[in-house]
Amino acid sequence: MARRLLFAVPLALPVAFATAFAQTADPGKAVTAVRADYALTNVRIVTAPGKVIERGTVLTRDGRIAAVGATVQIPAGVTQMDLSGHTVYAGLIDAATSIGLPSPSRPLPAMTAAGAAPAAGRGGGGGGGRGVPLGRGSAPPPPVVLPEVEADAEAADMFAPTDDQLKAFRAGGVTTVGLVFDGGLFPGRVGSALTGTRGGSPLALRAASGQVVAFGTKRGGAYPGTGIGAVAFIRQAFLDAQYEARLDKAFKAGTPGARPSNDPFSRALVPAATSEMSSWFVASTERQIVRVAEIAKELGLKTPVVVGSQEGWRVIANLKSTGATAVVSLQWPSPDSITGRAFLAVGSGKSGTAPATTAADTAEVRANAAALTKAGVPVAFASYGGESGNTFRDRIRLTIAAGMSPDDALRAATVTPAAVLGISAAVGTIEVGKLANFVIVTGNDLFAATNPIKHVFIEGRIY
């Protein structure tokens, strides 16, 4: 799949231009994937959380924002949309999804009829790969890399959603997604993509936003095959990569005897191990998040990202101590599954069942993001662990009802995910030079159940 990377764009574009379009669009009429240059007029504009132009115009050109303000000169030939009674926001960003990505537990490549032979594999001494037996005089085949430790696999290259999956994202106002593998140990690198298409292909934005780290296992009973083994494996893999980086530096400096091993797995982890690239740890429970903090402190990993963070409110101090960003999944766990819940039933000599779940228990789980934000932990919203993106806006609404302010919720769905994915130059706010990614609702509240989404723009195309 071809990858299209973002480059810096000028923050001021000429306003006077013409296109082949000279019509006024009806905001109530559905239009699908039309590319034109638009003037969205008489519209309330939320350029960023807390920043509002009560009545103004947004002008687009070639898929980017050319002008925005209360008074904008509209050139001839632009498609004008009178959006009185509507509000335009920057398109929402789902900071982490595995939808459209292959599973790290996917089957390995088919073997030949001759049968299987041991292979070195990759990632901490092998022990899980499979190979092809050699005939006399034949060259050795390349080792089969286990997907669960394919550290340099790029999610942006492997993103292959269905049309229905992309439509579901757009139905929730999501115009950009962060791509995070689900499972494995070091299954690859975080990427990002738009939820629109061009020529039938999804639009990748950026590769190598971060390194995915998960507390999974290897297949076939190979090490690590347990949770505690996964912790040791992750720790050792980072230590080996840091040693590889020191060897490489010494070798380039001409230090006698210094020679990097050039192990592909360790080499792939060097950027994350040296904090040149952020590490995205998949961790939702209290114990997992504590382990992330311990690993990050021991190895000096700066500003880790914690994907899931569903029990983040229970370990706020650990998140803050490492400068972590919490990518909070809005796929809330059952209150009965929260750490410590079983203790209510069997702890201190008790026996029986835990107390029945109450509305307060449910509210506590849903107030996770609000508690983290109040404590000063950066929060980005995600659908990670969910099957569809069309409920994204609905779940944000419930998060607001649980105590998060609308501005903080908007920031967690736009500005913060853009920053943590490294794509702030392109998306997250309505500013000149950024991609024309918008969500337009009736009324003045993006998250109100009574305000339907009227239009979604992705890179200047209307859906």
Same domain, 97 and 53: no
Range of the domain at 62: 10-91+428-463
Specify which of 9-18, 19-28, 141-150 reaches the highest per-range mean pLDDT: 141-150
Q: The CATH number of the domain where 199 resides is what?
A: 3.20.20.140
pLDDT tens for each residue of 115-148: 443 344 455 443 334 344 444 566 777 777 899 9
Residue 110 lies in a domain: no
Same domain, 278 and 319: yes
Confidence (pLDDT) at 350: 64
Cβ atoms of 279 and 299 within 8 Å: the answer is no
Amino acid letter for position 99: I
The yes-or-no verdict on residue 413 having pLDDT over 80 is yes
Same domain, 360 and 457: no
Residue 79 — φ and ψ, nearest 5°? Answer: -70, 115
Q: Which of 93, 88, 95 is nearest to 47 (CA)?
A: 88
pLDDT tens for each residue of 232-279: 999 999 999 999 999 999 999 999 988 888 899 999 999 999 999 999
Burial 36-48 (b: 16+ CB within 10 A, else e): bbbbbbebbbbbb
At 352, the pLDDT band (50, 70, 90 cuts) reads: low
Q: 165 in helix, strand or coil?
A: helix
Same domain, 286 and 377: yes
Same domain, 156 and 214: yes
Confidence (pLDDT) at 351: 66
The yes-or-no verdict on residue 15 having pLDDT over 90 is no
Residue 341 lies in a domain: yes
Same domain, 187 and 305: yes
Same domain, 383 and 432: no
The yes-or-no verdict on residue 348 having pLDDT over 90 is no
Residue 377 lies in a domain: yes
At 346, the pLDDT band (50, 70, 90 cuts) reads: low
Residue 23 lies in a domain: yes
Confidence (pLDDT) at 123: 53
Residue 123 lies in a domain: no
Same domain, 37 and 53: yes
Residue 120 lies in a domain: no
Confidence (pLDDT) at 87: 98
Residue 410, number of CB atoms within 10 A of its CB? 24
> Quick one: what percent of the chain has pLDDT higher than 90?
73
Reading the block at residue 230, the tokens are 């996964």
What is the model's pTM? 0.86
Confidence (pLDDT) at 223: 94
Residue 320 lies in a domain: yes
Reading the block at residue 16, the tokens are 């006077």
Same domain, 438 and 342: no
pLDDT tens for each residue of 164-176: 999 999 999 999 9
Same domain, 271 and 210: yes
**Which residues have a Cβ under 8 Å from the Cβ of 214 and sit 6 or more positions away?**
104, 181, 182, 183, 184, 185, 186, 187, 281, 282
pLDDT tens for each residue of 356-372: 778 888 999 999 999 99
Q: How many domains does the chain have?
A: 2
Q: The CATH number of the domain where 439 resides is what?
A: 2.30.40.10
Q: 31 in helix, strand or coil?
A: coil
User: What mean pLDDT do residues 195-205 have?
Assistant: 84
Residue 124 lies in a domain: no
Same domain, 298 and 361: yes
Same domain, 216 and 270: yes
